Amino acid sequence: MYGFSRAIYRELADEIVEDPCGRPQVNHERVLRACEAALERLATDRHYFARPTRTLFNDIRIYFPMTSQLRVLRVIQRYLDLADEFLRRLPQNGFDAYGNPLHCRASTRKGTPCQRMPLPHNGYCPSHQHLAETEEIEAPLAA
């Protein structure tokens, strides 16, 4: 994920507007941190990160002139699509992109996170499959 965030930053670095009141390179640092945070969240929390492109664009758009905004959006969209495709192609052997074990997305009756191994297609363990079915029904109703 480090490579994707650095690629976004490198492609956009020449257009970042410097802060006249702040120390030099402060806006460059903020853009880089926002890119890293968005890709970290995409890698670790994909099911609850509905619009990563919009989120990252809204976080960094203030550091670019208006004439560059469309290009910034397209660059972000291209690299986040590539990162999402990369994450989908990773083998689903019970670990996330960083080697941490996966856990079910549901909570137990006590309110603690379920510790069982999720199934690769939806992130829920066999005991909580009924929650995945309700997500599929609620998504069209919300739209």
| % of the chain at pLDDT higher than 90 | 42
Q: Which of 3-17, 32-46, 85-99 has the highest mean pLDDT?
A: 3-17
More confident residue, 72 or 92: 72
The amino acid occupying position 71 is R
Q: Where are the alpha helices (DSSP H) in the chain?
A: 2-12, 26-44, 52-60, 69-89, 129-142
Q: In the prediction, which pLDDT does 135 show?
A: 60
Q: What is the mean pLDDT of residues 21-50?
A: 87
Instruction: Look at the alpha carbons of 86, 87, 88, 91 in this order and tell me if their dihedral is positive or negative.
Output: positive
pLDDT tens digits along 61-84: 999 999 999 999 999 999 999 999
Strand partners, 113: 107
